Structure 1
Amino acid sequence: MLPRACPCTLLWLVLLMTGTAGCQRPAERRFEFSPNASSRSGLVALEDSVLVGTETGALLRLDRTGRPGWRLKFAQEIASRPVRAGNTVIVGTTGGELIRLETKNAQERWHLTGEPPLLTDLVADEASVYVLDSEGAVRAHALDTGQVRWRRPAPKRETPPAQPTPRLPPPILVEGTLVVAQGDSGLVALSPEDGALRWRHPVEQVLGLAREAETLYVTTRTGRVVALNALDGTLRWEKQHASLLTSPPTVALGKLWVGAEPIQLLALSPASGETLSSTDLPAPLVTRLAIRGEWLLIPTSGREGRLLALNSQGMAPLFSLQADTPLRTEPVLIEDQLFVVGLDGRVLSWTLRDPKP
């Protein structure tokens, strides 16, 4: 039998009723801001503020009090998470726009149009921003000019898919290699310089990717967790942990964290993939969790939008925060201030404090 850090839901039921467990006010609400539109883009952390995009094409910068610093309006939805590059941010829309902006005042560096709709989160390094479209095509744009450096077409399909293709997870840069999940075509590793193929691995239905040093961790919708050598794609280990996984992997505090069905958080060994513990959750984890010291900050996708805090040492529940909207994107921490954006577009923030008995 697997070790269970929380064998029943009683502790979570107490948290849902009281909001705390053995501590005095561990989190104090800072603000709640509504852009009056839903959001699936997630938050981007800046030094002293966060960025959020909406389905109506609005992009807002909010300071740490929840006050808008600037606001832009594009013609189509910002569905993917923008990516920060130095003192700028690159933003894509479902209308095929790609824009680089100054984070301080939203001044444009460049603005491209006419590309395929952008649904997958952007990735950037010092030279390029990498874009994966919904069909699996990849392209690299020069960071300084926006000019296309290279394109790699989508993989060919023998027959059209029987049902809509799930949203592809964002690529990841590992040891100078760009790793991309292309749906039923599996994983490909590309050269960031010219898009040349470095290796392939036939893992399908990828939920997300994470890295630690030269190891690439992959979760799939079919319940598999895979560890690969990022340099050549060779298999290090593979485990079937559930019939269904729900989240990308998070590597933190010496463990690999994954959401699963039945509704649980699994803690795995990064070296072997063995299950170290499993903890019941009140609703599924569908994104990465956040880390504050030894705390795990777990956003859940249920209607109540609970954000749960656990002490990773013993997996003891600490407190629960309610957003009243599903939390499907990764929380953001700026020092001790926590930010989340709900599916309804509201940005909520709390100041976190160490629990005191």
Structure 2
Amino acid sequence: MKRTMLRKSSFALVAILSFGLMAGCANKAEPRYAPKELQRFEARAELSSEWRTRVGKGLGQARHPISPALDNDVIYAADERGRVMAVNTESGDRLWQTDLEVGVSSGLTAVAGQVYLGTRNGEVLALNQDDGEIAWRARVSSEVLAPPQPNNALLVVQSVDGAVTALDRRTGQERWAHTTTEPALTLRGTGTPTVIDPVTFAGFANGRLVTLDNRSGQPLWERRIAVPRGRSEIDRLVDLGGQPVLAPDGRLFVTSYNGRLVALDAPSGEVLWEREHSSYLTPVLVGDRLFTVNEASHIIAYDARSGEEVWRNRDLEGRWLTAPAFADGNVVVGDYEGYLHLIDIQDGRFTARTRVDGSGISVRPLTDFRRIYVLANDGRLEALEINR
């Protein structure tokens, strides 16, 4: 019972965290990173709106991380009340819509004819991409916020209680489950596992990264990425809130809150390099450059081979950026006021900017070469084209 109450209190904590990680004197609390005002710049490209549509009521007051998914020229998106739809990427036309009887809480994953999602009541659903009909549903241990991750045989789901459950992709039957001890107080959200055929890489709120054998769910190796420090429970948060990024050559990049950015050898877990870096967002790897957004909303480019910082853009500090995406030579991020920003990957300077929606953007944009798809918090879904 005590653990449940603490987890409920974490919702209030995260309301504070999500508006600035409050710090200051006893009589006057101020945001740790006050949002910077946007400055004018000379645009090197323009963003044109191709189409827009509405996805139900959006992410809801709790800002559930219901990120859309893209597969075969179709976007699959959902709102927090359980409305799921398929949208043609060229025209913006709605192909189908279905209303579930339960609220959606996780990002969506679309692959091989199905759409996978998690719910607030601890269910995982597989929908047919053709018509939105439910193919199967399965129960896991608690609410699901991270998008379910597939390989050829399994669907791996990480839930808010720290459990990782592998389901049969065809039937939804449980194959194995791995549990871990989570701190009483955590950031709202969980890490998203990275799944390949032989193994799953999963990060947890206790600051540990575990590699699980997909045949059995047994750990193959485990590394501590972040160590709790400080007196308060807030200071001691060390969540691995992003998704490990696996490079084709077997390097694995992991971020942590109040911790480090670490590059590891995926087969062995050996640390290749590390940097002090606090982030709960997933980085993006483009060639030998790794782009991250830290807790201050600085956008940082690292040499992925050595860990050396290449450039840093501080102009969006405190603006609660999304995880970064990549499109046509640019890092793409959204912010809390609904602006979409493009930053050149070579020099860290702004390329273009547009305001999508005043409700804000909190889920990572989808990209397809010069096309960017943005879901705003109130459910507005817009397609934008980069024009040079």
Q: TM-score range by the shorter chain?
A: 0.7 to 0.9
2:355 pairs with 312, 322, 325, which one?
322
CA contact (8 A) 1:305 1:325 kept: yes
**Deviation digits for residues 83-132 of structure 1 (CA, Å, limit 9, x no counterpart):** 22312122221122222222121233222347532122210011010011
CA contact (8 A) 1:247 1:285 kept: no
Q: Alpha carbon RMSD of aligned pairs, Å? A: 2.3
Structure 2: gaps (5+ residues): 1-35, 60-64, 227-238
The answer for the alignment partner of 1:182 in structure 2 is 204
Does residue 338 (structure 1) correspond to residue 363 (structure 2)? The answer is no
**Closer, same or farther: CA 277–82 of 1 in aligned 2, 3 Å:** same
Name whichever structure is richer in strand by fraction: 1
Distance in 1 (alpha carbons) for counterparts of 2:377 and 2:254:
25
Task: Within 5 Å, give how 1:116-127 maps onto structure 2.
Answer: 116-127=142-153
The answer for the alignment partner of 2:328 in structure 1 is 293
**Deviation digits for residues 188-237 of structure 1 (CA, Å, limit 9, x no counterpart):** 11011211110011124213221213111111111511111111212111
Task: Name the SS for the 1:220 alignment partner.
Answer: coil
**Closer, same or farther: CA 165–327 of 1 in aligned 2, 3 Å:** closer
Distance in 2 (alpha carbons) for counterparts of 1:273 and 1:114:
38
CA contact (8 A) 1:188 1:201 kept: yes
CA contact (8 A) 2:158 2:164 kept: yes
| CA deviation after TM superposition for structure 1 residue 272, in Å | 1.9
| CA deviation after TM superposition for structure 1 residue 76, in Å | 2.5
The answer for the alignment partner of 2:94 in structure 1 is 68
CA contact (8 A) 1:174 1:211 kept: no
**Closer, same or farther: CA 246–228 of 1 in aligned 2, 3 Å:** same
The answer for the alignment partner of 1:227 in structure 2 is 263
The answer for the alignment partner of 1:41 in structure 2 is 66
Does residue 307 (structure 1) correspond to residue 327 (structure 2)? The answer is no
The answer for the alignment partner of 2:382 in structure 1 is 348
Distance in 2 (alpha carbons) for counterparts of 1:267 and 1:222:
19
| CA deviation after TM superposition for structure 1 residue 240, in Å | 1.0
Distance in 1 (alpha carbons) for counterparts of 2:140 and 2:148:
17
Task: Within 5 Å, give how 1:1-357 maps onto structure 2.
Answer: 13-15=39-41, 21-23=43-45, 26-39=46-59, 40-64=65-89, 65-113=91-139, 116-152=142-178, 154-156=179-181, 161=184, 163-173=185-195, 176-184=198-206, 186-204=208-226, 205-208=239-242, 209-212=244-247, 213-241=249-277, 244-245=278-279, 247-282=281-316, 283-284=318-319, 286-300=321-335, 302=336, 304-323=337-356, 324-353=358-387, 355=388
The answer for the alignment partner of 1:5 in structure 2 is none
Task: Name the SS for the 1:238 alignment partner.
Answer: strand
**Closer, same or farther: CA 142–325 of 1 in aligned 2, 3 Å:** same
Task: Name the SS for the 1:13 alignment partner.
Answer: coil
Structure 1: gaps (5+ residues): 1-8
CA contact (8 A) 1:305 1:327 kept: yes
AA of the residue aligned to 1:281? D
AA of the residue aligned to 1:27? L
**Greater RCO between the two (CA within 8 Å, min separation 6)?**
1
CA contact (8 A) 1:264 1:284 kept: no
| CA deviation after TM superposition for structure 1 residue 261, in Å | 4.7
**Closer, same or farther: CA 316–155 of 1 in aligned 2, 3 Å:** closer
| CA deviation after TM superposition for structure 1 residue 148, in Å | 1.0
Aligned residues: 331
| CA deviation after TM superposition for structure 1 residue 273, in Å | 1.3
Distance in 2 (alpha carbons) for counterparts of 1:269 and 1:306:
27
Percentage of matched positions with identical amino acids: 20
Using the size of structure 2 for normalisation, the TM-score is 0.79
**Closer, same or farther: CA 187–286 of 1 in aligned 2, 3 Å:** farther
CA contact (8 A) 2:212 2:218 kept: yes
Distance in 2 (alpha carbons) for counterparts of 1:179 and 1:334:
26
